Amino acid sequence: MRYLFYLLGTVGLLVPGLGYAEDEAVTPAVQQLDLTHHWAGYFSLAVMVVAYIAAMLEDVTELRKSKPMLLASALIWAVIVTVYQQQGQNQLAIAAFRGNLQTYMELLLFIMVSMTYLNAMEDMRIFEAIKFWLVSKHWSYRRLFWITGFMVFFISSVVNGLTAGLLMGAVVVAVGRDSPKFVSLACINIVIATNAGGSFSPLGGISTLFVWQYGILGFLQFFKLFVPCLVNFLVPALAMHFALPKDKPAVETERVVLPRGAKRIIFLFGVTIALAVAFDVKLRLPAAAGMMAGLSLLQFFFFYLHKTSNSRSLRQLEYDLFSGADVSDLDIADARAKKLDVFEKVGRLEWDTLLFFYGAMMGIGGLGYIGYLDAVSHMLYGQLSPTLANILIGLSSAFVDNGTLMFAVITMQPDIPQGQWLLLTLTLGVGGSLLAIGSAPGIGLLGQAKGQYTFSSHMKWLPAVLLGYFAAIGVHFLVNAGSF
Question: What is the pLDDT of the chain when averaged over all its residues?
Answer: 80
Q: Given a cut of 80, is residue 58 above it in pLDDT?
A: no
For the purposes of burial, counting CB atoms within 10 Å of the CB of 395, is it exposed (0-12), middle (13-18) or buried (19 or more)?
A: middle
Where helices occur in 198-282 by DSSP H, the ranges are 206-213, 226-241, 262-281
Q: Which helix (H) or strand (E) holds 221?
A: none
Predicted local distance difference test score (pLDDT) of residue 387: 93
Bigger pLDDT: 207 or 401? 207
pLDDT band at 18 (very low <50, low <70, confident <90, very high): very low
SS3 content of the chain, % helix, strand, coil (to 5): 75, 0, 25
pLDDT band at 59 (very low <50, low <70, confident <90, very high): low
Backbone angles phi, psi at 144, to 5 degrees: -65, -35
Could you read off the pLDDT of 116-170 as tens digits, one per residue? 887 888 788 887 787 778 777 778 889 989 999 999 999 888 877 877 887 788 7
Could you read off the pLDDT of 245-289 as tens digits, one per residue? 888 876 666 677 788 888 899 899 889 988 988 888 788 888 889
Sequence letter at residue 112 = M
* DSSP class per residue in 366-398: HHHHHTTTHHHHHIIIIIS-HHHHHHHHHHHTT
Q: Given a cut of 60, is residue 8 above it in pLDDT?
A: no
Q: Given a cut of 90, is residue 338 above it in pLDDT?
A: no
Answer for the pair 236, 471: CB distance below 8 angstroms, yes or no. Answer: no
Predicted local distance difference test score (pLDDT) of residue 301: 92
pLDDT band at 66 (very low <50, low <70, confident <90, very high): confident
Q: Which range among 97-111, 118-132, 187-201, 300-314 has the greatest average pLDDT?
A: 187-201
Pick the range with the lowest mean pLDDT from 147-156, 353-362, 451-460: 353-362
Pick the range with the lowest mean pLDDT from 14-18, 303-307, 475-479: 14-18
Could you read off the pLDDT of 288-322 as tens digits, one per residue? 899 899 999 999 998 888 888 755 444 444 444 44
The residues near 46 (Cβ < 8 Å, ≥ 6 apart) are: none
| Residues 449-465, mean pLDDT to the nearest whole number | 89
User: Cα–Cα distance between 411 and 403 in angstroms, integer?
Assistant: 12
Long-range contacts: 98-101, Cβ < 8 Å, 24+? Answer: 98/20, 98/21, 99/18, 99/19, 99/20, 99/21, 100/18, 100/20, 100/361, 100/362, 100/365, 101/362
Predicted local distance difference test score (pLDDT) of residue 252: 62
pLDDT band at 435 (very low <50, low <70, confident <90, very high): confident
Q: Which 3 state secondary structure label does DSSP give 441?
A: helix
The residues near 323 (Cβ < 8 Å, ≥ 6 apart) are: none
User: Cα–Cα distance between 225 and 45 in angstroms, integer?
Assistant: 37
Predicted local distance difference test score (pLDDT) of residue 2: 46
Signed CA dihedral, 441, 447, 449, 454: sign only: positive
Predicted local distance difference test score (pLDDT) of residue 24: 36
